[in-house]
């Protein structure tokens, strides 16, 4: 069974052997951005470990239900249930609340990373202004990757963003150019169909996927690629893109709030190490 007891509770800090690919997600279903990468990593024989940094609880779905949905999807991609961690549930971080809980999330991720001495790559949600939890998690991952010397092995993947779009419109699986060149991996047609079926495996998020699925379908039909971009510490001081961010348009969060949350966490972190 997957653990909610922390990244090192099962063996008091025991390190995991073998090369590992690590995936950080804010929400249960964020894995849709890297289905192919997870599959490819498992086919290469890498251990794949995934962590979710919010609890998944919504007005229409329980955390347990959302956890089961993502566990089912990941299992079909070859991820062992014991390598899936629901940190958000353990830490009590609600959906949409990650920027308010950066310090405990960072401590958890730091311990989790320490479990894996041989990290092939670390993957995290993009710095793109789509969802404020995604951006907050990105910032945590990049800073902590730099601490561990993993920055050159850390990659970001786009989920959705509204760069240069009017009103409530958004793009799906479309990296923002401000994050640098994207490396595209072509997905075979059989894989595209497999991944589209996986996108229908989140019944608790039906309303969300009614909006997302048509765009994901078009992406797979017209482009059929999965794209990754490098990360950079300097980007954390820059607005993800010009104009209103999607989470600002939805009035979920603002860029000044994000700046303040990250600045407060980084200042407190520096103080605690002096």
* CB atoms closer than 10 angstroms to residue 61: 18
Contacts of 90 (CB under 8 A, 6+ apart): 4, 5, 6, 108
Quick check: 1 pLDDT over 80?
no
pLDDT tens readout for residues 101-140? 999 999 999 999 999 999 999 999 999 999 999 999 999 9
Distances 154 to 34, 41, 123, 138 between C-alpha atoms, Å? 14, 14, 6, 10
pLDDT tens readout for residues 205-240? 999 999 999 999 999 999 999 999 999 999 999 999
Whole-prediction pTM value?
0.94
**What confidence score (pLDDT) does residue 274 get?**
53
Contacts of 133 (CB under 8 A, 6+ apart): 26, 27, 53, 54, 95, 96, 97, 98, 99
Q: What residue segments make up the domains of the chain, in order of their start? A: 20-272
The domain defined by 20-272 folds into Rossmann fold (3.40.50)
pLDDT tens readout for residues 47-104? 999 999 999 999 889 999 999 999 999 999 999 999 999 999 999 999 999 999 999 9
């Amino acid at each position: 069974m997957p653990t909610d007891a922390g990244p090192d509770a099962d063996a008091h800090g025991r390190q995991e052997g073998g090369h590992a690919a690590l995936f950080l997600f804010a929400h249960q279903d964020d894995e849709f951005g890297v289905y192919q990468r997870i599959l490819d990593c498992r086919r290469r024989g890498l251990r794949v470990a995934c962590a979710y940094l919010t609890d998944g609880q919504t007005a229409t779905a329980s955390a347990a239900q959302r956890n089961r949905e993502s566990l089912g999807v990941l299992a079909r991609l070859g991820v062992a249930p014991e390598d899936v961690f629901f940190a958000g549930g353990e830490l009590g971080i609600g959906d949409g609340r990650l920027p308010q809980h950066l310090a405990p999330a960072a401590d958890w991720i730091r311990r989790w990373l320490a479990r894996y001495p041989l990290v092939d790559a670390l993957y995290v949600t993009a710095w793109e202004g789509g969802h404020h939890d995604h951006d907050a998690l990105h910032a945590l991952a990049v800073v902590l990757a730099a601490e561990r010397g993993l920055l050159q092995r850390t990659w970001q993947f786009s989920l959705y963003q509204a760069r240069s779009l009017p009103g409530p419109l958004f793009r799906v699986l479309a990296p923002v150019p401000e994050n640098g060149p994207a490396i595209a991996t072509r997905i075979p047609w059989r894989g595209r169909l497999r991944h589209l079926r996986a996108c229908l495996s989140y019944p608790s998020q039906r309303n969300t996927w009614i909006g997302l699925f048509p765009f994901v379908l078009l992406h797979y039909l017209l482009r059929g690629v999965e794209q990754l971009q490098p990360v950079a510490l300097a980007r954390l001081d820059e607005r993800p893109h010009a104009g209103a961010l999607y989470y600002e348009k939805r009035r979920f969060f603002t860029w000044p709030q994000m700046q303040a949350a990250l600045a407060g966490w980084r200042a407190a972190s520096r103080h605690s190490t002096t």
